[in-house]
Structure 1
Amino acid sequence: MAFTRATGKHRRPTRMSRTTANVAGVATLTTTGVIGTLASPALAVDEPSALEDTGLTKTISIGDAVADEIDTQAAVQQIAADEAAALKLVEAETKQRLAEQKRRAEAEAAKEREAEERAAREAERKRLTTYVSPVAGGHVSTSYGAGGSIWSSGTHTGIDFHAGTGTPIQSVGYGTVVEAGWGGAYGYNVVIKMHDGTYTQYAHLSSVAVTAGQSVTAGQQIGLAGATGNVTGAHLHFEARASAEYGSDLDPVAYLRAHGVSL
């Protein structure tokens, strides 16, 4: 039995066309149950209405929808991933900025502490090394080493400053009071152990303003000038000693000048 073919140019059916034809043929057989009519449905596959009735078109449409949904999900996931990466970058930058701010704050605080410590050390240095005259604006009336029977040793073991009764007397530097009160021939007197281990004495006072064990600084008032003890008139007798023992006296003028005090 010969098969009829429409006239005109023909191509070998593509795989899709063959598959479509097969599906259409099977559908026809299922519907009619007549095998002898196979040729007619085969020719009918070229008509658009036949394709729309097949399950293949529906399958392709569903496949496109699924693909679009997958693409949408992929796009959403990519957006979420990009947002997460951006957030992570912002967090990292924020953390780095905060760390830098903390480092700068700590560095600034360290500089401030260093400046405060340096100022404190300088203040302490000045406190320990600053010296003044025992009588502000006073002048020496009797020099160190002067001879005379008025002194038990035969020579003057200190220097005398001209100072009327009631003139403020001040510590020449930083130290600790080791004696404050009556001192026999010295009258009322104050003895201070200086921070460098030397001693200074302030004698013939009319009154004493400090007590033993008290710390004093340069320029701090320790009493008032007077004429107590073995004296001929009001003045301040000032001595400098290498130790607490009598006889270890130093030249008071040289001692004060060595500490920056000009008389």
Structure 2
Amino acid sequence: MAFTRPTGKHRARRRPTRRSMSVAGVATLTVSGVVGALSSQALAAEPEGPAAGQGSSTTQAIVIGDSISDTIAAQATAQRAAAEQAKRVAEARAEAKRKAEARAQEVREARQRAARAAARKRLNAFRTPVAHSYVSTGYESGGALWSSGSHTGIDFHAATGTEVVAVGAGTVVEAGWGGAYGNNVVIRMRDGMYTQYGHLSSIQVTVGQSVTPGERIALSGATGNATGPHLHFEARTGQEYGTDVDPLAYLRKHGVHV
């Protein structure tokens, strides 16, 4: 018996729609993703053993680790070397500073010694009581002008108002009227001797005052027992009258030649 299709419009095979294709594609992609993820997890969790490729990965990790360790060690060595170099530089600078300070201290001490020596030299220096003068009457000259019968000092030629200076360093023990000496000054010298300056027109120091060699103490004149302006100068072993010694010999002893 033969079968025939019924008459009328026959429906052709239906083509898959875009929606069904999209769903199929998603399903395929999902399955592929899951399979890929599972494959990655399997590779990541691959157990230790002589599986293919594992030795190469381990060797690379060891090489990288050794390289980092070497780099860190090199950096530490460089840092230690830099620290040691900085320490040496600091020590060298400190030593140079110490030596410079020591040299500076030596220079200061040398200058101080020189200054003290110069001060001692100034204090121990002697000079004539009147500059650019000469002795007009010598020591122990005889005559009626002196109550003792002889001259107890020496006279320096000097006009009234001529500057009179201390012949050396000492302390003023008398400054004022001295009878026959007129206005006079007596100084106790550093060596224990005494010097006297008489017939002064003006006194410019006071008792207790310290004087240095060449310091002005008075102006010459003709006060007291004097026939004219001049400076009477005496050297004594004591402050009192009658303890006189040769003034020229005393000055020459201290390097002054008149």
1:152 aligns with 2:147: yes
Q: Which of 225, 228, 233 lines up with 1:233 in the alignment? A: 228
**CA distances 1:188-236 after superposition (whole Å, capped 9, x unpaired):** 1111111111111100000011111111111111111100011111110
Q: Which residue of 1 aligns with 2:82?
A: 87
Given the alignment of the two structures, is residue 257 of structure 1 paired with residue 256 of structure 2, yes or no?
Answer: no
Query: Alignment identity in percent?
Result: 55
SS of 1:179's equivalent in the other structure is: strand
5 Å-filtered alignment, 1:127-146, equals 127-146=122-141
- Aligned residue number for residue 4 of structure 1: none
Partner of 1:18: none
* Counterpart AA for 2:102: A
Residue in structure 2 matched with residue 46 of structure 1 by the alignment: none
Counterpart Cα distance in 1 of 2:109 and 2:204: 38
Q: CA deviation at 1:55?
A: 5.2
Name the residue aligned to 1:167: 162
Work out the CA distance in 2 between the residues paired with 1:196 and 1:233: 32
Determine the structure 1 residue equivalent to 2:120: 125
- The residue identity in structure 1 corresponding to 2:101 is E
Q: Does 1:66 align with 2:61?
A: yes
Q: Does 1:217 align with 2:212?
A: yes
* Alpha-carbon offset, residue 103 of structure 1: 2.1
Normalising by structure 1, we get a TM-score of 0.76
Q: CA deviation at 1:120?
A: 1.4
One-letter code of the match for 1:107? A
SS of the aligned residue for 1:131 comes to coil
Give the structure with higher Rg (CA): 2
Please, which of 174, 177, 186 is the counterpart of residue 179 of structure 1? 174
Q: Which amino acid aligns with 1:255?
A: Y
TM (normalized to structure 2)? Answer: 0.77
Taking the TM superposition and a 5 Å limit, the aligned residue runs for 1:8-157 are: 56-157=51-152
Residue type at the aligned position of 2:218: G
For 2:83, the aligned partner's letter is K
Cα distance, 1:142 vs structure 2: 0.6
Paired position in structure 2 for 1:243: 238
Q: Structure 2: any 5+ residue segments left out of the alignment?
A: 1-48
Cα distance in 2 between the residues matched to 1:123 and 1:178 = 26
Give the distance between the partners of 1:184 and 1:245, measured in 2 at CA: 13
What 5-or-longer segments of structure 1 have no aligned partner?
A: 1-53
Question: What is the CA–CA distance in structure 2 between the aligned matches of 1:221 and 1:110, rounded to whole Å?
Answer: 37
- Matched position secondary structure for 1:56: coil
Extract structure 1 runs of 4+ deviating beyond 4 A: none
Look up the equivalent residue of 1:126 and give its one-letter code: K
